[in-house]
Amino acid sequence: MNSTHLYNTTELENPFTSADAEPPMDSNTNEPRIAPLDPAEADSQTAAVLTRREAKWGKVFNVGRTIANAPAIIKMMDAVWDNLCNTSLSSADREVIAMDLAVSNGCHYCVPAHRYIVHEEYEFDQQTVDAMGRVAKGEMLQGNGRMATMQRLVRRLAATKGGLNDDEYEQFQVDGVTPQQMIETIAEIAHCTVTNYTNRLARTPHDDFTAKYR
């Protein structure tokens, strides 16, 4: 049985539909409305958080410095990023969730950033890379493979605000997603809401190293 038949196909669609919102920025636009915060200009605690975070990342992502304009929130996100690395979701699970949400939320910054991560920071097989590319274009993955299942899950959790019906809840478990992973996916939605919305609000500038992935 194809489990996709259990899901509302209209709610699996993923257009950018907010008529009164600013449309997604052109991929070449690089003028911020809220500039990334230079650690040298931050208070000592915020600078320390940024220094620690960027050491863990191994590079400067402008999203971190943009969020740092709200000191309490970069401190919160620093802990979120650490803890999300320790969930039972695989790297591929997390990337398909993040990519699908970035496209859904119209985030000019996160789509190329996650394309960069997929190609440069993980050693995914070509099939996974190709599937991520389709997700980055807004395509719905077909079949009952893990990536397609996780894309359906994140879309249904977002569409229903967590209110999966009983049949869906049971089918996702049949398809290999544990209740723990459903909660962890909700945490990823929360994480991406902060990053995607902040990037759109701030018009976060692209990182130079993502140029080939825009």
**In sequence order, what DSSP letters do the residues of 64-99 get, joined into one string?**
HHHHTTSHHHHHHHHHHHHHHTTSSS-HHHHHHHHH
Taking 60 as the threshold, does the pLDDT of residue 21 lie above it?
no
Asked whether the beta carbons of 104 and 110 are under 8 A apart, the reply is no
Alpha-helix residue ranges (DSSP H) falling in 6-164: 9-12, 44-57, 62-67, 71-84, 91-104, 110-120, 126-136, 146-160
User: Can you give the C-alpha Rg of the chain in angstroms?
Assistant: 17
Taking 70 as the threshold, does the pLDDT of residue 11 lie above it?
no
pLDDT confidence of residue 174:
98
Read off the pTM.
0.89
Task: Please tell me the distance from the alpha carbon of residue 61 to that of residue 63, in angstroms, as a whole number.
Answer: 5
Asked whether the beta carbons of 96 and 188 are under 8 A apart, the reply is no
- The yes or no reply on domain 3-13+35-213 and CATH 3.40.605.10 is no
Confidence of residue 26 (pLDDT cuts 50, 70, 90): low
pLDDT confidence of residue 31:
87
Confidence of residue 1 (pLDDT cuts 50, 70, 90): very low
Confidence of residue 9 (pLDDT cuts 50, 70, 90): very low
